[in-house]
Chains A and B, each alone.
Chain A
Amino acid sequence: MYTFSKKLKTFSIILMVLGLLGIGYGFMTSHKSFEEVEHLLESEAHHGGGHGETTHDSHAEASHDTHAASHDSHSDEAHASDEHTKHVEHVQHQIANRPWAALYVAAFFFMMIALGVLAFYAIQVASQAGWSPVLFRVMEGITSYLLPGAVIVVIIALASHFIGHDSLFIWMNPDVTNPESEHYDKLIDGKSGWLSVGGFAIRAIIFIAGWSLYRHFSRKFSIAQDTADDNKNFKKSFRIAAGFLVFFIYTESMMSWDWIMSVDPHWFSTLFGWYVFASMFVSGITVIALISLYLKSRGYLDFVNENHLHDVAKYMFAFSIFWTYLWFSQFMLIWYSNIPEEVTYFIARFNDYKLPFLGMVALNFVFPILMLMNADYKRIPWFVVMTGLVILFGHYIDIFNMIMPATVGDRWFIGIPEISSILLFAGLFILVVFTALTKAPLLVKRYPFRKESEDFHY
């Protein structure tokens, strides 16, 4: 049995407190008045450096020109001041959105780790893998974060509508589907059959209920199998794993449309669900490796040897490449055809997010491929830990790149709101996961593949 060390518990609570303080600070400083934003933009223009400035100018000029051409340039100045007000309000919204988006990115990131591990666990059970049963309890511990994590994500999404005035999902604003309103958006209205707050909430409940039910029963059967005298529980867990995987691949795809793709409601991509899946899968496997190595270093997992580590590291390596394949496939198809309605997604990222957008390819592809290619390196714990931390950071940036451009645009920075959100959810994740690890022995007892797994040798 694992006992949650006092130090780690205190550490996780400190993380959460620091995170909460920072998030509070983020929300307090994000409400700027019109004049404050105006002043901010002016000072940025004077310094000639702010990254908002270039897009602002080109944007204002372009729309101004078309206006001028169609209206025979009557009342130039009225238009200019109108544009100015609009621009300031736009920036004001972006600044107000930032703590929401920071919170949402971090919440989703930790939720997706638990979900990725749950999918990995189901695959191991359904494929009757012989190497991984010694890691099952670690995986079950990590997936305990899924229910609270996913509920928090949905709460933040809905709170951003009810409290934060649609700072994450503009389609939640009732004005955009109201033809009378000046904010009416025909494209979003056309999608309102899917994109509605009620539908969002109902789908979220179905997804979370389905995942949590599988999590609940797989854990129950796994523990029941420890003391059983036949393999009934094993057979049941095998069956529900197969069923869950079917349910998962549908709901994961729809979840990625709902929770991520809809922050850009004008944009769509067909392989987006797979792309998000690859990101969550590789982060989940990386966390399995990190937590196993931590527990092993504390002497709780003596039955886990370097051969198991080698296999997990192989998965990290392979799914880093899989992620890159999907990332590149999505990017290149859109870059190649260059259809205006699709390509704006990448233009926004390329203009305003060049470092995170290209940096994550280095973090998620170049680094793991070079570090984990050698078979000997995959067996060295500190090497896998180091690579794992880089992969996790890279996938945080990946989610960051999905959410931020649509919510804060060029007003992004990884500052106090972002780091605090990570700290809060990291603390919560550690607390929930390690508490769950204390609830059951760390080695499955009567699992049919236990012996094979203990003797696993590569």
Chain B
Amino acid sequence: MEASKVIHAIYTDDDVLMSAVKKVKAEKHHIEEIYTPFPVHGLDKAMGLAPTRIAITAFMYGLVGLTVAIIMMNFIMIKDWPQNIGGKPSFSYLENMPAFVPIMFELTVFFAAHLMVITFYLRSRMWPFKKAENPDPRTTDDHFLMEIAVHGNESELENLLKETGAVEINLVDKEAH
């Protein structure tokens, strides 16, 4: 993709931003991105973003962890070397299961939590030496920025955004990734 033009509309209030989003959506303009310093409740709904599926992945990771725990302890404690340790019944997995439950539980939580976090990092492209993608440093403090793609309708868009209460409207060339 070649370099394209986008409009950056900057707001100073999350309520104004929310109503602006609704207005821009009603006018059928595509919002590329919104940068906010903190989570704005309901913004994802107003933008029409699809709900996250990360909880579903966490559930599946948890099942993986549970399976790992069961297979691991069944092999070690029952199959490989079934010792008599303090009279605990090591004849079958079920007979000795209560002793394994704390580990089964912890591994389920461990897998679910860590793999979900890693999934989150991968999906949102976050890693230690990543270059920050911040169009305006003020959006990490007290400003809200809405980015809208321009397809030759700059003046119309600018008027619309001014109406919605934007304090600053910039037309910028965006480098294609």
Which residues of chain A have a CB within 8 Å of any CB of chain B? 328, 331-332, 335-336, 338, 373, 375
Q: Is the CB of A331 within 8 A of B87?
A: no
Chain A interface helix/strand/loop/mixed: helix
Chain A residues with CB under 8 Å of B87's CB are: 338
Q: How far is the CB of A323 from chain B (nearest CB, A)?
A: 15
Q: Is the CB of A373 within 8 A of B59?
A: yes
With both beta carbons as reference points, the residue of chain B lying nearest to A334 in the complex is identified as B98
Q: How far is the CB of B70 from chain A (nearest CB, A)?
A: 15
With both beta carbons as reference points, the residue of chain B lying nearest to A376 in the complex is identified as B51
Ranked nearest first, the 3 interchain pairs of A and B with the lowest CB-CB distance are A332-B98, A335-B98, A336-B99
Chain B residues with CB under 8 Å of A332's CB are: 98-99, 101
With both beta carbons as reference points, the residue of chain A lying nearest to B102 in the complex is identified as A332
Interface residue range, chain B: under 10
Q: List 12 A-B contacts (CB under 8 A).
A: A328-B98, A328-B101, A331-B98, A332-B98, A332-B99, A332-B101, A335-B98, A336-B98, A336-B99, A338-B87, A373-B59, A375-B55
Q: How far is the CA of A331 from the CA of B98 in the complex (A)?
A: 9
Of residues 90 through 116 on chain B, the ones whose CB sits less than 8 Å from some CB of chain A are: 98-99, 101
Chain B residues with CB under 8 Å of A336's CB are: 98-99
Chain B interface helix/strand/loop/mixed: helix
Known pairs A332-B101, A375-B55 / 4 extra A-B pairs, C-beta < 8 Å:
A328-B98, A328-B101, A332-B98, A332-B99
Q: How far is the CA of A336 from the CA of B89 in the complex (A)?
A: 11
Q: How far is the CA of A332 from the CA of B102 in the complex (A)?
A: 10
Of residues 32 through 76 on chain B, the ones whose CB sits less than 8 Å from some CB of chain A are: 55, 59
With both beta carbons as reference points, the residue of chain A lying nearest to B42 in the complex is identified as A457
With both beta carbons as reference points, the residue of chain B lying nearest to A337 in the complex is identified as B86
Q: How far is the CA of A328 from the CA of B101 in the complex (A)?
A: 9
Chain B residues with CB under 8 Å of A331's CB are: 98
With both beta carbons as reference points, the residue of chain B lying nearest to A333 in the complex is identified as B98
Q: How far is the CA of A331 from the CA of B99 in the complex (A)?
A: 11
Chain A residues with CB under 8 Å of B101's CB are: 328, 332
Chain B residues with CB under 8 Å of A338's CB are: 87
With both beta carbons as reference points, the residue of chain A lying nearest to B87 in the complex is identified as A338
Q: How far is the CA of A43 from the CA of B101 in the complex (A)?
A: 43
Q: How far is the CB of B95 from chain A (nearest CB, A)?
A: 11
Chain A residues with CB under 8 Å of B98's CB are: 328, 331-332, 335-336
Q: How far is the CB of B99 from chain A (nearest CB, A)?
A: 7
Q: How far is the CA of A4 from the CA of B55 in the complex (A)?
A: 43
Chain B residues with CB under 8 Å of A375's CB are: 55
Q: How far is the CA of A336 from the CA of B100 in the complex (A)?
A: 11
Q: How far is the CB of B60 from chain A (nearest CB, A)?
A: 12
With both beta carbons as reference points, the residue of chain B lying nearest to A338 in the complex is identified as B87
Q: How far is the CB of A41 from chain B (nearest CB, A)?
A: 32
Q: How far is the CA of A373 from the CA of B98 in the complex (A)?
A: 24
With both beta carbons as reference points, the residue of chain A lying nearest to B55 in the complex is identified as A375
Q: How far is the CA of A373 from the CA of B55 in the complex (A)?
A: 10
